[in-house]
Every structure is written in C-alpha cells, then in structure tokens.
Structure 1
Amino acid sequence: MLDLNGIINVLKPSAMTSHDVVSFLRKTLDMKKIGHTGTLDPNACGVLPICIGKSTKIIEYIQHKNKKYRAEVTLGYSTDTQDKYGRVLETSKNNVSNDEIINVVNSFKGKINQLPPMYSALKKDGKRLYELAREGKTIERNTREIFIETIDILSINKNKIMMDVICSKGTYIRTLCNDIGERLGTFAHMSFLERLSVGDFNLSDSYTLEEIVVKKSNNDMSFILPLDNALKFMGSIYLDKMFYKHISNGLNMRAKRLGISDFILNTEYKIYCNNDFIGIGIFALKNDEIVLKMDKVLV
C-alpha cells in the first residue's frame, strides 16, 4: 500500500457519483484514507478535489470555499429531482421576455434562503433524503441561508438560459434553477451542470480518471498536489528549525519565543519549519500570553 499524501484535482465525469470516484481512486492508488471535498451531483461533471492520506484532515477547509458552476435552466416544466432526469411534475406554456429573465435571475444575488431538495444527500434520522424520496416520502425541511456571489447570464435561447454561478457551500444549483422558474411565473429545471472551480482548484488544471490511471502506470505521480496547495488563501508563518520537534508534536509555543510578531490573533496560518509544511496553526491569547496553537499537524 502506497504512503501518499496530497490532493488530486479530479474532473468528475457525469453518470458517476462522488463516492464512485473515491472508490475508483482508492483501488487505483491502493489507498485506504481518501475522501472528496463535497458532493457533486451524479449527473454533473467538473471539479471534484480528492484528498488522500493526511490531507483528509483539511477537507473542512476546502469544503467552505466558494464554488463556480455553469448551469443551464430549461423553462416550461419542473421535475421531482429538479433536473432533467426526474419525473415531470408541472408544465407551463407561459412566455417570459428576456428582460424578465434577466431581472429575475439577478434578484437571486446575495444572501437568500433556499429549501434543500428532497433528492439530496442530507440526512434525516440517519437516512438520506434521496432514499426517502425514492420511497415516495416528502418530509419537512428547514430553509438554509446561502450566498450567491455572482450570476452571469451567458445566453438566452428560447426557453433555455445558460449561466455561470459563484456561490457558497450548501447551494443547490438544481433548486436555484427551479426557484428561478417559479419566480418567473412558470416552471423550470436544471438541464446541465458543470462545476468550474472549488476555491483555487479549476477545471483547466483537473485530471480525468483515465489520465490518472495512465500517469500512475508510468509512475508519474505529478497529479497529486502538495497538501498546502489547497490552502493558498491562508497566510504563511516560517519558524526556525530549532522548533521543529515541538511544533510537529503539536505543542503550544509562545509567540515571543518563536520570534514572531507579524500575525493576526485567532486567524489560521500555514505553519512551515525546516522547509516542511507542518500544518495549520492559530495565534491565541492564553494566560495573558500569545501562543501558537497547532490546530492541524500534517507531518
């Protein structure tokens, strides 16, 4: 079994679940410790960062980064899954103008409350909502506050709207498409979805599963990115090598002893020592002294 640590920017194919991708790579790389950073719809394609080895400890940091999607909204009918693969629920022949579409789509920018769909991986009493939905059950759900940073309409072609969306964690693009239709006084569903980015991971830098298999067979592991590659948004602190043992063991260290003064309290930093990325640390006040606390040790 290989001892690998890092992140793989996978281009997930459609008709494959995020869990399927994890299982495929677990076998391909002969890895036990592996996980994805946030479910992407089975019928969607695009960026799916996969963490292997010690990098699974930083999944939470990647999950919270904004995501960018390209989606197509088809007006005219809604489905139970809110995408084109579901059962048709409602139809409408209402015509809406391009101006109406532009105004309604733009009205979803900013903080909004969204009701998670029944066909989702959320759990209720230990059971996935999509499992309950397949049993014909609908349960009460609470709305969740999400943030739509941008919606850019790329084209409007008869009843089809192509748009790019940058949004927060927890946003359901299927539901956004459905809600756009309702606000337009008609019905709608998501007919296409591609994830263009997750934080700093972009589609242009991603690898297909086929490419990963070929590289692995050639002993080329360049598709595995260093752990700290996913944490570019964090500041960096570099410590003298004399502190390596203490820091790598996760011990609290006084900032004054470390000779560090340029930092912001209660802010996460990438910590480096002896040219190694040690992990994630936070400067905090403890007993009237500022100490560096290692939140995640990754060596």
Structure 2
Amino acid sequence: MGLLPFEKEKRKLVKRYESSTNPEYGLKPEDRTIAELLNSGIINLDKPGGLTSHETADIVRKIMKVKSAGHGGTLDPRVTGVLPIALNKATRILEVFLHGGKEYVCEMKLHKEVSEKDLLKTFKKFTGTIKQLPPIKSSVKRILRERTIYYIELLEFAGRTALFRAGCEAGTYIRKLCTDMGESLGVNAHMQDLRRTKASCFKEENSITLFELQEAMALYEEKSDESLLRKCVMPAEAGVQHLKKVIISDGGVAGMSYGAPLMLPGAVAVTENIENNELIAVMSQKNELVALGKAAMTGKEMLEKSKGICVNAYKVFIEREVYPRSWKKE
C-alpha cells in the first residue's frame, strides 16, 4: 500500500534539554470538556454523495449547533469519502491540510480494452511530476499546472474497468488524470466513480458518517452521554499530526500566545529534519497546539545552537494568560 510523503518520512523528536511543565497551567487535549471540543474541534467526516462540500459542512454546523464549520479540501458532489470538518476556532487550521497530500480510490472506465501490462506502464508514466490543465468545470483558472502523483496502484482490472488507488498532491484532478491516461493509452477513458480515502493525516477507516454524528449529538443532548461524541470530535491538535514539531517550555508558550517569536532557549525538543522557513506545529509540553510557525532555523541548527530566533509565529491558537507571563506589564 502506498504512503503519502509525510507517512514515509522518518521523523525523530530530539530533546534539547530536560524540562517539566506546571500542571496548574494549560490542559492536555484529551482532558478538555465537550464545550471546549465543540469550540475548537475537528471531525473526520465520511462525506456522502449528492452534496457539495459546503452543504456538508453546513449540515455539520447545524447538527453540532456551532457558529461556524469549514471543510478541508473540496470534494465534488458525486465524490464520497474523507472530508475533515473544523468547528469554530479550529477553522483557522484548515490550510495545513493542503500540506499532507490526498489519497483516492478511483474506478476508471476505458473506452476500449487494453492489456494490464500497458495499463501498468501508463500508471508508471503518470507517477511523479505531471502537468494538468484543470477540467472545464472547475473552480480555478484553466492554466497548466504542475502536480505530483506519489503512487498509483492497480486494485482490480476487468474488461474495460480499472480500479486504482492514487496518492497525490493537493489540487490534483483525478477526473483529468483518468482522461489524460486514456489519451496516453490511445483508447480514451473517463472517471466512473471516486472516493477519497486520505486527506493529510485523516483516514477513511477512522471517518464517521453524518448519521453517526447526529446520533452522537442526540445522545449527548438527551442523556448527557459524551461517549459517542468524544469519538466523533477530535481536538484541533489532531489536524497537525503530519507537521514537524517544536515542543516549547511554559515560558515560551506565554510569549508565543502574544505572537512573539520563539527564542531558542524556549525550545525543549525539535523534529531534527525541520527545514528553514518550513510550516511547523509549535506545541506545549502538554501537547497543546500553541501556534503554527515558520521555522527560522533548520532542525539541525536548533539542536546545535544556543540562542537566536528559531520560530516565527504564523497563527497563534492558544489563548493569552493560559500560561503566566514572565515579564511585567508596562
């Protein structure tokens, strides 16, 4: 089975020094109340066919009785599968889902029969960097774009129907991929059916349906039973599993909560292969998402140096005053 780039990458979190966190401040994500989860949670939804992604997110918003709900990565109405839905404050995290890649299972209809050997050759030809012109019916400007196909695996092949799994960069049109592969084979082809099985760190096997979500919410409202709802709504931290990380001290959390850059002494542990200017997740020692940040050093430099700015805050998520400030008000 194919793996997306972040799934293949070996990541090692290396401690810079020993540090402890004060239990009086902050809270582990798993210890949050339902109200806190609903205000900043993520749902790994199995989108049904026949609805736009926007309509699906709006249905979730109404079921959960929240002010806002946004989706991570548009699916056409007829396409089913993994559609991460972010609630309220967590909607600010949606852009990071573009960094993790997608996976689809597609049924492709060939207009004439071809050999399995030729089909596999074509799959190989279209693996790697390809050029795509978005379909006529698309929400983006029709200009030639480069996209990366990480893998294409044949699952079933009978007659003129091929079922395959493809891992690809966000923004890849599988419908156009089918058309282009058909032209390459000289027989033409079209996408018959499509299902998304991965969206960055969210997978099909852990997704839930709208019915299951509705059932969980009803159980909570009618019987104050949180058990099902806690299985449906994940903390926002679940959405950054695919990002490299910097773990910071309690004092570092306080500073970054005001948008200050992180100075190297505040970095307790780092993913060793961070690249300069890479988008990373800055986490507290309780595994709270403090901020999304842009690395100002490589992971290697963070481990070797002792001072300097190591991360610039990009989007701050933790509230101010959750961790006490070590500086005085003017």
TM-score bracket, normalised by the shorter chain, equals 0.7 to 0.9
Comparing 3-12 with 98-107, greater Cα deviation is found at 98-107
Identify the match of residue 25 of structure 1 among 60, 68, 85. Answer: 60
Moved more, 288-297 or 110-119: 288-297
Corresponding residue to 1:97 among 115, 123, 126: 115
SS in 2 for 1:147: strand
Supply the distance in 2 between the matched residues of 1:111 and 1:241 (Cα, whole angstroms).
Answer: 43
| SS of equivalent to 1:218 | helix
Q: What secondary structure is seen at the aligned counterpart in 2 of 1:251? A: coil
Partner of 1:294: 313
Give, in whole Å, the separation in 2 of the partners of 1:271 and 1:60: 16
Distance in 2 separating the partners of 1:24 and 1:209 = 8
With over 3 angstroms needed to count, the CA separation of the structure-2 counterparts of 1:102 and 1:243, relative to structure 1, is closer
Tell me, in whole angstroms, the C-alpha distance in 2 between the residues paired with 1:259 and 1:198.
29
Is 1:231 matched with 2:240? Answer: yes
**What does 1:182-261 align with in structure 2 at a 5 Å threshold?**
182-219=183-220, 220=226, 221-222=229-230, 223-256=232-265, 258=266
> Secondary structure, in 3 states, of the residue corresponding to 2:296?
strand
Alpha-carbon offset, residue 97 of structure 1: 2.4
For 2:139, the equivalent position in structure 1 comes to 121
| Residue 283 of structure 2: aligned partner | 272
> Displacement, 1:65?
1.6
Q: Which TM-score applies when normalising by structure 2?
A: 0.73
Distance, in Å, in 1 between the alignment partners of 2:169 and 2:102 is: 6
More off after superposition, 234-243 vs 49-58:
234-243
Partner in structure 1 of residue 172 of structure 2: 171
**Structure 1 segments (4+ residues) deviating >4 Å:** 259-265
> CA–CA distance in 2 between the matches of 1:270 and 1:217?
34
Q: Aligned-pair distance for 1:244?
A: 3.8
Q: CA RMSD in A?
A: 2.1
- 1:83-130 Cα deviation digits (max 9, x unpaired): xxxxxxxxxxx44222222222221111010110011222x5xxxxxx
1:30-179 matches, cutoff 5 A: 30-76=65-111, 94-122=112-140, 141-179=142-180
Give aligned-pair identity as a percent.
Answer: 32
> 1:228 touches 1:270 (CA, 8 Å); kept in 2?
no
Residues 109 and 273 of structure 1: is their aligned pair in 2 closer, same or farther, counting only changes over 3 Å? closer
User: Contact conserved, 1:71 with 1:192, CA < 8 A, in 2?
Assistant: yes
Counterpart contact for 1:255–1:261, Cα < 8 Å? no
Residue identity opposite 2:238 in structure 1: N
More strand by share: 1
Instruction: Report if the CA contact (8 A) 2:116-2:157 is conserved.
Output: yes
Task: For 1:155 and 1:209, locate their aligned partners in 2 and report how far apart those are by CA, in whole Å.
Answer: 29
Size of the alignment, in residue pairs? Answer: 261
Find the residue that maps to 2:39 and give its secondary structure: coil
Shift of 1:16: 1.3
Flag the 1:277–1:157 CA change in 2: closer, same or farther, 3 A. Answer: same
Q: Report the TM-score when normalising by structure 1.
A: 0.80
C-alpha separation in 1, matches of 2:283 and 2:217: 29
Q: Distance in 2 between matches of 1:252 and 1:109?
A: 40
Structure 2, unaligned runs of 5 or more: 1-34, 221-225, 298-306, 319-330
Q: Deviation of residue 37 (structure 1)? A: 0.8
